[in-house]
């Protein structure tokens, strides 16, 4: 019978992966808690292959978007702590925890390493009359609570304009636009006046479809030398979205060590820095100890911020 060899082949294909080897013996799932195509997704789709090379196993990016990034966090928490699920986190985890959007906290995870930092830019719709930050502030003072800001509520894109509000004493009106892409659509169509964005939108700013007003870094950025920093303008706000990787608490030590080593090597890969530059993102590597300290500091800052902004819910 000709069928027997085929059956044997099928059986072999099914069983082959069962022979166990050292970690990682099967694909690792990297949960990105945002929609594919977003900033986080783009960064990790670049990062995963580099880390994969170091790790000698496959990393599959799984987008579990929704609910201000907390849906993916819950999904990650529900997975077994075997080193085969890792979580791509950014600052919003602190914000969503303190604003009461979700119960997931960074302390539920084990740090692997910090990967990147993306500075925020105050961005205006081309349909507004503001040429610069000063005009925006003057208008905002004249019409308190009427300038609309598109934001993922309770997350970084909400916190950043809220910090500007606080530093300058103006009052904005927030409208829910979750994710960078819908926010940019709304800016372009003039359905909101203002939003947080970053250098990934440089193309649209150059084409006059968006207007960069000020960047929240200490010094001006080489890519956009004519955009002033908020600090120059006397607004004491520095803000960036920092992205790192976390593993589940209780992940076996050897797996964790492999992940940390691979993450570090991938972050130092010159190809990664090159790719990130196009994303308007700086590579910012911190090993797990430094990252743990960083997370603690950020957590405190976010709590204080949430409190000052009147959003603290716990």
Partner 1 sequence: MIGRDGWAGLVVLAASLVLFALTLRLEDSPLVPIGPGFYPRIVLGATALLAAWMVLADLLAARRAAPRAARVRRNYALVWLMFAAFGLYVGTLAYLGFRIATLLYVAAVNALLDRPRGARGWARVAVVALATTAAVYVVFERELSVLLPRGRWTDF
Partner 2 sequence: MFELLGAGLAGMLQLKYLAPLAIGALVGVVGGAIPGITITMTVIVVLPFTFGLEPLQGLAAMIGVYVGGETGGLIASCLLGIPGKPSAVATTFDGFPMARKGEPGRAIWLGIWASIFGGLLGAIVLIAATEPLARFALQFGPWEYFSLFILALSMVAGLVESSLAKGLASGALGCVVTILGNDPVLGRERLTLGIPWLEGGIPFLPVLIGVFAFAQIMSDVEKMGGAASAEQALDRGVSLAVSHARVLWDILSRPFVLLWCSFIGLVIGVLPAIGGSAANMLAWDQAKKFSRHPEKFGTGIPEGIIASESSNNANVAGSLVTIMAFGIPGDAVTAVMLGALTVHGIQSGPLFISQNAQIAYGMFAAYILAHAIVLAILLLGVRWMLRIVVVPRSILFPVVLVLCTVGAYALGNAMASVYVLLVFGVAGYAMVKVGFPLAPFILGVILGDQIEVNLIRALMTNPDPWLFLTRPISGLLLGAAVLSIAAALWQHHRQRRRMAAAGAGDADF
> What residues make contact with partner 1 under the rule CB under 8 A?
3, 6-7, 9-11, 13-14, 18, 26-27, 29, 58, 60, 62, 99-100, 153-154, 158, 174, 176, 311, 313
Q: Report the C-alpha gap between 267 and 194 in whole angstroms.
A: 33
> Interface residues with partner 2 (CB under 8 A)?
29, 31, 35-38, 41, 62-64, 66-68, 70-71, 74-75, 101-102, 148, 153-154, 173-178, 181-182, 184-186, 188-189, 191-192
313 binds, among partner 2, partner 1, none (CB under 5 to 8 A by kind): partner 1
CA atoms within 13 A on the CB side of 46: 22
CB 206 to partner 1: min, Å: 33
Neighbours of 150 (CB within 10 A): 29
Strands (E), the chain: 28-32, 59-63, 85-90, 109-119, 121-124, 147-151, 172-176, 194-197, 211-215, 240-248, 282-286
6 binds, among partner 2, partner 1, none (CB under 5 to 8 A by kind): partner 1
CB 153 to partner 1: min, Å: 4
53 binds, among partner 2, partner 1, none (CB under 5 to 8 A by kind): none
CB 303 to partner 2: min, Å: 19
Which residues, other chains included, contact 55 with Cβ-Cβ below 8 Å and sequence gap of 6+?
24, 28, 258, 259, 262
7 binds, among partner 1, partner 2, none (CB under 5 to 8 A by kind): partner 1
Question: Quick check: bond before 24 cis, omega within 30?
Answer: yes
């Amino acid at each position: 019978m000709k069928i027997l060899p085929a059956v044997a082949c099928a059986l072999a294909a099914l069983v082959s992966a069962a022979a166990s080897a050292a970690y990682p013996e099967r694909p690792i799932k990297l949960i990105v808690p945002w929609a594919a195509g977003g900033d986080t997704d783009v960064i990790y789709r670049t990062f995963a292959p580099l880390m994969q090379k170091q790790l000698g196993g496959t990393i599959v990016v799984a987008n579990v978007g929704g609910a201000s990034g907390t849906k993916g966090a819950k999904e990650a928490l529900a997975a077994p702590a075997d080193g085969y699920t890792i979580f791509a986190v950014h600052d919003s985890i602190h914000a969503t925890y303190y604003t009461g959007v979700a119960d997931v906290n960074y302390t539920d995870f084990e740090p692997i390493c910090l990967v990147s930092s993306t500075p925020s830019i105050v961005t205006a719709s081309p349909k507004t009359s503001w040429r610069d930050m000063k005009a925006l502030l003057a208008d905002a003072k004249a019409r308190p609570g009427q300038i609309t800001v598109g934001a993922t509520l309770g997350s970084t894109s909400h916190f950043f304009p809220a910090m500007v509000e606080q530093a300058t004493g103006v009052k904005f009106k927030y409208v829910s636009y979750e994710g960078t892409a819908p926010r940019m659509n709304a800016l372009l169509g003039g359905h909101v006046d203002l939003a947080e964005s970053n250098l990934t939108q440089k193309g649209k700013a150059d084409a006059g479809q968006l207007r960069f007003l000020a960047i929240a870094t200490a010094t001006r950025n080489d890519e956009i030398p004519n955009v002033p920093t908020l600090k120059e303008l006397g607004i004491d706000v520095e803000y960036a979205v920092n992205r790192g990787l976390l593993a589940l608490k209780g992940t076996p030590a050897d797996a964790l060590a492999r992940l940390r080593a691979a993450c570090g090597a991938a972050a130092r890969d010159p190809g990664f820095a090159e790719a990130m530059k196009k994303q308007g993102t700086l590579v910012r590597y911190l090993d797990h100890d430094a990252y743990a300290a960083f997370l603690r500091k950020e957590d405190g800052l976010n709590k204080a911020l949430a409190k000052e902004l009147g959003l603290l819910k716990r």
